């Protein structure tokens, strides 16, 4: 059963449409957690809340649950230790490498290119070197209380199933982190992305719903955990590597465009992008799109992991902790825009066609405004087809600048009315920067 104050169009599950209202989704998750833990403890919800009220700041609710694995930067995999670079593909010309595991797209290289980002040019964020893949031994296991028949699939079985292709963006939740640093003059840990931790590709694979049906998905299923082969941290005893995972509600897992992917832009999935298989949940933060997947757990009760509770959350003065979460949970990406220019850019005076791209994790872009004078005046950009939801739209404006220093800005609005703000509240990890960015350009004599 569910908490009495959770309502849904689907009876026992939030619908995919309801997931767009993040505040309702988070409230439902917290209510479910309180109900679940009070039931496990054999006490009433009211008594559980009384206990919670006695805890400092109301954030110690997790103490009644099983201890979470401790975070560690130690990697016990000898295979990974012996590797140098964590990325297997060569560094494309013009790309930015922040560390041995990251490649950021240089937006200047996208000027004049097509809608999709080629595999070789797609951004990368690897915590470790991609694991080896043997199609003869690899298996994808589906298990948990939310399915009636736990099962395994071979690589050959998956690629033989009915498949579809979805054009979608994958974007790191930390895309734009550097702008938090610049706006608040405060350094942050983690990769200092500008706006190049995003790419759009055509992903081909099997709808996850088909695999779940093969495992006899129960109507009472609530959450889906996807686990990859990526060794991410140590467990609480410090004796065994744990694997990176993410959790989505059943409504998102069974959406038509949620896939177990084995091909990218018409080619077998490259090692750096998840070979042999990864999941794609269009619109959600990059962490949800787990690479090198090995196991899927379906549960009749909500699943809470270290990554969900502690890392994929917004933490800061404007984001009070919502127990059991350490901050405000991240689901869908926000609206962003980028110019197809170097940073900073230097151009020659004369006629110029400014180009850029805008995107939203919740739908499609319906309007892009561009300012050529630092936000004093704005004009509408021309939107170019295709303009696909959960991907991006290309746009352009004519510009005939004279020599001087300029600050270009772009702001987009999606079909749900979400618009880029001029400022963004601080969060301690630097996630989901969606504010209007000022792009510096120097124009010289032609």
* Polymer length of the chain: 446
Q: What is the pTM of this model?
A: 0.83
Residue 183 neighbours by CB under 8 Å, 6+ apart: 423, 424, 435
Res. 60: pLDDT tops 60: no
- Per-residue pLDDT, 62: 33
Name the average pLDDT for the chain: 85
What does the alpha-carbon distance between residue 101 and residue 86 come to, in Å, rounded to a whole number? 5
- Per-residue pLDDT, 95: 86
Residue 334 neighbours by CB under 8 Å, 6+ apart: 360, 361, 418, 420, 432, 434
Span 397-414, mean pLDDT?
Answer: 98
Res. 226: pLDDT tops 60: yes
Inter-CA distances, 193 with 149, 181, 318, 432, 433, Å: 43, 11, 22, 11, 10
What does the alpha-carbon distance between residue 350 and residue 444 come to, in Å, rounded to a whole number? 9
More confident residue, 66 or 405: 405
Residue 228: band (very low, low, confident or very high) from pLDDT cuts 50, 70, 90: very high
In the chain, % of residues over pLDDT 70: 79
Lowest mean pLDDT among 14-23, 74-83, 105-114, 272-281: 74-83
Strands 379-380 and 439-444 come out as unpaired
Residue 230: band (very low, low, confident or very high) from pLDDT cuts 50, 70, 90: confident
What does the alpha-carbon distance between residue 186 and residue 178 come to, in Å, rounded to a whole number? 10
Res. 68: pLDDT tops 80: no
Span 54-70, mean pLDDT?
Answer: 31
Lowest mean pLDDT among 84-93, 257-266, 288-297: 84-93
More confident residue, 18 or 207: 207
Which value, to the nearest 10 degrees, does the dihedral of the CA atoms of residues 244, 250, 254, 260 take?
Answer: 10
Res. 122: pLDDT tops 50: yes
Span 50-71, mean pLDDT?
Answer: 34
The answer to whether the beta carbons of residues 244 and 290 sit under 8 Å apart is yes
pLDDT, one tens digit per residue, over 414-437 is 999 999 999 999 999 999 999 999
Burial class (CB in 10 A: 0-12, 13-18, 19+), 209: middle
Inter-CA distances, 338 with 52, 193, 197, 280, 359, Å: 44, 13, 11, 23, 9
Residue 322: band (very low, low, confident or very high) from pLDDT cuts 50, 70, 90: confident
- Per-residue pLDDT, 240: 59
CA atoms within 13 A on the CB side of 350: 5
């Amino acid at each position: 059963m569910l908490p009495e104050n959770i309502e849904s169009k689907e009876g026992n599950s939030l619908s995919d449409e309801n997931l767009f209202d993040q505040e309702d989704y988070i409230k439902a998750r917290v209510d479910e957690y309180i109900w679940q833990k009070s039931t496990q403890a054999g006490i009433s919800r009211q008594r559980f809340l009384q206990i919670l009220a006695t805890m400092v700041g109301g954030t110690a609710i997790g103490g009644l649950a099983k201890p979470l694995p401790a975070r560690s930067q130690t990697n016990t995999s000898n295979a990974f230790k012996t590797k140098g670079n964590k990325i297997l593909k060569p560094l494309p010309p013009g790309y930015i490498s922040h560390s041995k595991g990251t490649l950021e797209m240089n937006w200047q290289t996208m000027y004049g290119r097509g809608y999709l980002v080629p595999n070789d040019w797609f951004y990368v964020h690897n915590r470790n070197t991609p694991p080896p893949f043997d199609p003869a031994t690899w298996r994808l296991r589906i298990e948990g209380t939310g399915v009636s028949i736990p099962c395994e699939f071979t690589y050959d079985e998956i690629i033989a199933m009915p498949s579809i292709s979805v054009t979608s963006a994958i974007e790191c939740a930390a895309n734009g982190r550097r702008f938090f640093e610049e706006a608040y003059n405060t350094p942050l840990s983690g990769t200092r992305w500008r706006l190049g931790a995003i790419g759009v590709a055509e992903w081909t694979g099997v709808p996850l719903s088909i695999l779940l049906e093969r495992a006899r998905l129960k109507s009472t299923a609530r959450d889906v955990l996807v686990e990859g082969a990526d060794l991410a941290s140590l467990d609480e005893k410090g004796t065994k590597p744990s694997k990176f995972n993410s959790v989505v509600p059943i409504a998102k897992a069974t959406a038509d465009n949620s896939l177990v992917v084995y091909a990218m832009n018409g080619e077998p999935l490259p090692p750096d992008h998840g070979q042999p298989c990864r999941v794609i949940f269009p619109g959600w933060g990059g962490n949800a799109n787990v690479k090198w997947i090995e196991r899927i757990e379906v549960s009749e009760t909500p699943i809470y992991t270290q990554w969900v509770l502690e890392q994929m959350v917004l933490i800061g003065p404007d984001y009070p902790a919502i127990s059991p979460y350490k901050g405000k949970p991240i689901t869908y990406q926000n609206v962003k825009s980028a110019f197809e220019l170097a940073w900073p850019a230097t151009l020659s005076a004369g006629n110029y066609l400014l180009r850029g791209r805008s995107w939203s994790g919740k739908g499609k872009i319906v309007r892009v405004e561009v300012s050529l004078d630092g936000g004093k005046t704005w004009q509408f950009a021309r939107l170019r087809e295709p303009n696909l939801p959960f991907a991006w739209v290309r746009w352009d404006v004519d510009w005939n600048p004279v020599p001087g220093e300029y600050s270009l800005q772009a702001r987009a609005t999606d079909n749900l009315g979400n618009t880029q703000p001029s400022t963004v509240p601080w969060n301690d990890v630097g996630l989901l920067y969606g504010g209007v960015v000022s792009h510096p350009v120097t124009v010289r004599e032609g």
